[in-house]
Structure 1
Amino acid sequence: MKIISNAAEALSIVYSNSNIFIHGGDSTPQALINGLLENAHKLKNVTLTHLHTHGDAKYANEEYCDNFKIINLFVGGNVRKHIDYQRVDYLPCFLSEIPNLFRSGRIPLDFALIHVSPPDQHGHCTLGTSVDVAKAAVSSAKVVIAQINPNMPRVHGDGFIHINDIDYAIEIDEKIVGQQEVFLSDEDLKIGQLTSTLIEDGSTLQMGIGSIPDAVLTSLKNHKNLGIHTEMWSNGALDLIKSGAVNNSLKNVHRGKTVSAFIVGGQDVHDFINDNPSVIQLEADYVNNPSIIKRNPKVCAINSAVEIDLTGQVCADSIGHHIISGVGGQMDFMRGASLSEGGKPIIVINSRSAKGFPKIVPTLRSGAGVVTTRSHMHYVITEYGIADLYGKSLSQRAQELIKIAHPDDRENLEKMWHETHCRR
């Protein structure tokens, strides 16, 4: 490993027409990204590939249209407005399959820009808050460039990177940009309370990010012997761990350990996971593998959606044609939970969006993608109740979903169902 004095110098080795992986989430290497931008005037047609990143994604601005192309494996809020499916594009893929895209060379990587904790006495850094697909990127890239930061937590698991596997590095001392606390509405809290009635003591939890998953976790503090095996976790899960409700004592896979592929959280979360042997981060192709997920007992997969149609099709990555997030790990865990003994795949949504649009709809809007198919659906929960779709026909599903839709939407949903499905 060669230590470079500043980011611009470290990134001066990047060349035109190359492919770069950028570490994501709380591990977004802001200093290296800034160094890349300083060298942008010398670069043409460089492809940047990443999951959601934090901070300003200036490289997506129009001023860099000749310099950078962006392939989003999951679309974060910082690039959402730039999506044009030409220069700023989206690659739909299960999170569990992304590491193989790197290792197989289907997505070739010339450089990997990563954010790591300082090396220990044996020379091992860690990938900190995000192992997910980053470990595969590091092992696949021709050149690895790291920013080493004492504020990056040292996290146990698959994320160890020896300094001999890092080609160039800069040393920084900067605060990690993490997830802020989310506001929980009365509707969110009601959904959380309803969801908690489905989750038994001894269950293994997977949860997404956002207000509703956090509201579910808030409602579980009186539960016992819960476990966590999840794509990611955040502030809400930390509260549940500290309350004693989560002890991972009944899991069959990594008993006693809180398992994830990445973590998005505030300073309290970062402090908790630092050198904590009860918390491990593993690669996404393992964590999100349904054959691994199903081995744990009573897996409850708790995920959200943009909209659900009356047959149970779930759109979770777009508003019509406009991609706003990604496939991620929803299907990995929905399937894994359904195969787990006593498992429950659960979609949690508000009955209406923040702008007042129905989220239970007669048909998905034009261009919307199906992330979770109707055949994979079990439970849907809104603030108005729980719909159990498993083993139900299409007409039975429609009636179940109409019951939990917003009261002002139910009459129209009934009408549209009969108009579109019941004609002779």
Structure 2
Amino acid sequence: MPTVVELDCLDFAALVRPGEMICWGQASAEPLALTSRLMAQRQRVGGFRAFIGISLSETPDPAYADSVRFSSFCGTGTNRRLASAGVLDIFPAHYSDLPGVLGEKVDVLMLQLAEHPQGGRFSLSCASDYVEDLAKSARIVIAEVNRQAPYTSAEIAIDDIDVIVRTDRRLLEMGRREPSELDLRIAANVAALIEDGATLQFGLGALSDRVADLLSDRRELGLHTGVLTDGAMRLIEGGAITNSRKPIDTGYSVAGTLLGSGRLLAFAHMNASIRLRPVGVTHAFGTLAALPALTAINSALEVDLFGQINTEAVGKDYVGAIGGAVDFLRGARASKGGLPIIALPSVAHVNGETKSRIVPRLSGAATIARADAAIIVTEHGAVDLRGLSLLERVGSLISIAAPQFRDELMASTRTR
């Protein structure tokens, strides 16, 4: 049985050994009472490592790098402050590989849990993803049982918990950005590709939520995704998502993490139609390939003329992630009727200058190889690169670039 400790009495110096790696749930799943106290006691603990996912809190503060070596799979959310300060180390791994990578490294796991209304049972609440497996392998598991956390299907055995701290606080929420007119045009081009019965995977951001809003008239959609967002919630509420055609988890919406508003978190509480599952389910190639018309909708920073895609960095600034994009794109390519979609604006505005996001050469990493060709969507249209030669891709991609850059892009191909 776990030891129950008052938060004011929690001494991390007695629990964490110098040099160990600590990991905690990401986004709304961050056990904020624990991470705040850990950072306050960081110098007493001695030097340690911290693996963090998407951050919505003030925990990833560059000032804490005096004692903490931060690492992550992403530069998303408030992680960007660490990346900008040069104190964030990136794990360049596909999301499907994270449980295996972290299982060999994480010593201390910190979780935010929800207790069942009838007592005696605990849920991982807002995230199963990679932390569910770590609960079995970490040396010690410290849990914040938050009275306000939603109870979800991702249950954890009480024997896997070593220390419990009880709290009653509001959860972190993902801020909402209103979609721009450009977002609406891109979303309309994406939505036009999606038919009744598709199984949906949504990436992060206002664009994905806007696509979801344009699918409210579809029927018998399914949901199998890494993150469950407000847009997907609205499709479930409206009856467009029924999961009736899925051969796996029929009738259930499957996700790894809740990432959205307080209304989304409340919607997920004791909701039997939602299953939060670990990465080994949400990102498994065999599972994804078996889903009908898997439609993976993700974003990117830039695409080169041969179909390589950068989702990670703009120059030296790490702002994105490898994440699950490759996992879902490959799954969608293998799915019968699947659509591997990458959606992005045709231009970016940087320091008052307008630049094309369809480029001769990537400015950052080639996260997605040209062999994993996708359907590329901008506000100017959509092109399917699957089955196209390199020369055919050049013409197709230039056709959906911003008009003012098309001649320049074509000229660049003559000098390569």
Separation in 2, partners of 1:383, 1:212:
12
Question: Using the alignment, how far apart are the partners of 1:231 and 1:245 within structure 2?
Answer: 19
Which of 45, 48, 51 does residue 47 from structure 2 map onto?
45
The residue correspondences of 1:321-400 to structure 2 (distance < 5 A) are: 321-355=316-350, 356-365=354-363, 368-400=364-396
Residue 277 of structure 1 aligns to a residue whose secondary structure is coil
- Aligned-partner SS, 2:66: coil
Q: Does 1:284 align with 2:282?
A: no
Offset at 1:44? 2.5
Aligned residue in 1 for 2:34: 32
SS of alignment partner, residue 414 of structure 1 = helix
Query: Counterpart in 1 of 2:92?
Result: 92
| Equivalent residue, structure 1, for 2:402 | 406
For residues 8 and 306 of structure 1, the distance between their equivalents in structure 2, rounded to whole angstroms, comes to 46
Contact 2:12 2:45 in 1 (8 A): no
Offset, 1:307: 0.4
* Alpha-carbon distance, 1:139 to partner: 1.1
Matched to 2:114, the amino acid is: S
1:71 correspondence with 2:71: yes
Describe the SS at the equivalent of 2:226: strand
Report if aligned partners of 1:227, 1:248 keep a CA contact under 8 Å in 2. Answer: yes
**How much has 1:38 moved relative to structure 2?**
2.3
1: CA distance, partners of 2:112 / 2:147: 10
Give the length in aligned residue pairs. Answer: 411
- State the 4+ residue runs in structure 1 displaced beyond 6 angstroms: none
SS at match of 1:83: helix
Q: C-alpha deviations, 1:117-168, integer Å up to 9, x for none?
A: 0255463211111110011121111111111112111111xx2113332111
Question: What is the one-letter code of the residue matched to 1:2?
Answer: T
Counterpart residue identity of residue 137, structure 1: L
Could you state the TM-score of these two structures normalised by the residue count of structure 1? Answer: 0.93
Checking the alignment, whether the CA contact within 8 Å between 1:119 and 1:163 is kept in structure 2 is no
Q: 1:77: how far off?
A: 2.4
Cα offsets for 1:88-132 (capped at 9, x unmatched):
2010111111111233x2x2x221111010255463211111110
Q: Which range is displaced more, 312-321 or 64-73?
A: 64-73
Are 2:186 and 1:191 aligned? yes
AA aligned to 1:33 is T
| Alignment of structure 1 residues 264-275 onto 2, 5 Å | 264-275=259-270
**Structure 1 gap ranges (5+):** none
Question: What secondary structure is seen at the aligned counterpart in 1 of 2:342?
Answer: strand
Q: Deviations over 1:184-238 (max 9, x none)?
A: 1111111111111111110000110102111211111111110000111211111
Distance 1:120 1:242, change over 3 A: closer
Q: Is 1:416 the counterpart of 2:387 in the alignment?
A: no
Please name the residue that 1:244 is paired with. 239
Matched, 1:235 2:237: no
Q: Secondary structure at the match of 1:357?
A: strand
Q: Do 1:96 and 1:286's aligned partners in 2 also have CA atoms closer than 8 Å?
A: no
Aligned to 2:3: 2
Q: Tell me if the contact between 2:116 and 2:151 (Cα under 8 Å) persists in the aligned partners.
A: no
Secondary structure (helix, strand or coil) at the match of 2:23 reads: strand
- Structure 2: runs of 5 or more not aligned: none
Report the Cα distance in structure 2 between the residues aligned to 1:284 and 1:261, rounded to whole angstroms: 7
Deviation at 1:11, TM superposition (A): 2.5
Match of 1:173 in 2: 168
Q: Distance in 2 between matches of 1:275 and 1:10?
A: 33
Aligned to 1:128: 125
Amino acid at match of 2:113: V
Query: 3-state DSSP class of the match of 1:294?
Result: helix
Cα distance in 2 for residues equivalent to 1:267 and 1:85? 31
Distance between the aligned counterparts of 2:186 and 2:99, measured in 1? 34
Q: Please, what TM-score do these two structures have when normalized by structure 2?
A: 0.95
Work out which of the residue numbers 117, 124, 133 in structure 1 matches 2:114.
117
**Which letter maps to 2:181?**
D
Does 304-313 or 179-188 show the bigger shift? 179-188
Query: In the TM superposition, what whole-angstrom CA distance separates every residue of 1:22-81 from its partner, at most 9, and x where no partner exists?
Result: 2111111111011112212213220001211221025x423x333110111222221223
Could you say what secondary structure the match of 1:381 adopts? strand
Which SS does the other structure have where 1:117 is aligned?
strand
2:302/2:359 contact within 8 Å kept: yes
Mapped to 2, the partners of 1:354 and 1:290 lie a distance apart of 36
Is 1:145–1:167's contact at 8 Å kept on the other side of the alignment?
yes
Name the SS for the 1:372 alignment partner: coil
> What secondary structure, in the 3-state scheme, does the structure 1 residue paired with 2:201 have?
strand
| SS of the residue 1:275 aligns to | coil
> Is it true that 1:223 corresponds to 2:218 in the alignment?
yes
* In structure 2, C-alpha distance between the alignment counterparts of 1:47 and 1:378, rounded to whole Å: 37
RMSD: 1.6
